[in-house]
Structure 1
């Protein structure tokens, strides 16, 4: 996915910025973003999936959007519309309900 995204985005970046994208610090920053945004989280997800049941992993994955909203609120000082907060609460409630149901099945 990262390769396809790079192949699509790089021509636009080169057309807009020219050779500025080939500077070493830009390439290192791009590599850092690639590692931090996909490679490391994916590796950690696979490791977690080996150690916890798939059902629990799925529930935890469904909480990621809620955590992203909270981090955006706290770290980036972004605000969500009230309907978006209701959507986040619905996801959290569904995850809590699934967790509660999962305990009954065990």
Structure 2
């Protein structure tokens, strides 16, 4: 089973095609050519913060790089995008968000 990092790496490779060179892509995103190369070849994991930054810079839907098929943004509905925006703005650690969701699910049972 692929991890979210695998999807991000694959989708970043697709994004790479929008640039003439890795250096151009790295400069646009604000990282080094070496770091970009490591991200593209999977030797370095693309974290959530950088993934969101790349999506914002390239005007992609939030969490687009996390999708199994980044070529179909319709898969991410408007509610999911709004939730993701609010989570990012809140700066709440992901584990706490999961704990809150679990607590809400328990209350509904």
Q: Is TM-score (shorter-chain normalized) higher than 0.5?
A: no
The structure whose residues are more often helix, as a share, is 1
Between structure 1 and structure 2, the one with the greater Rg is: 1
Q: TM-score, normalised by structure 1?
A: 0.29
